[in-house]
Amino acid sequence: MEETADFRAQILQALRDARDADGNPRLTEDQVKTLSDELSDEELADGMLFNTPEEVAGLLLESGLE
């Protein structure tokens, strides 16, 4: 479970680091939290085998949930 929490924390950081073309943050902290909550711990555990935290963050950003 600790690995999942660490993986989620890395996704959160990648979402916080996401910038638009002008260098401004793409998401507010509330949006970051909402996006990260879209994935259950079980889904994260499954995805950890195939994706980096940055890839998961990118998928969340592209999903249109922001």
Token couple for 30: 């509330």
Indicate the pTM of the whole model. Answer: 0.87
pLDDT 10s digits, 3-52: 999 999 999 999 999 999 999 999 999 999 998 888 999 999 998 989 99
**Cα-only R_g, the chain:** 11
How far does Cα 19 stand from its chain's mean position? 13
CA distance linking residue 17 with residue 11, whole number of Å: 10
What is the number of residues in the chain? 66
Are 27 and 15 within 8 A, CB to CB? yes
Main-chain dihedrals φ then ψ at residue 19, nearest 5 degrees: -125, 155
pLDDT of 31 reads 94
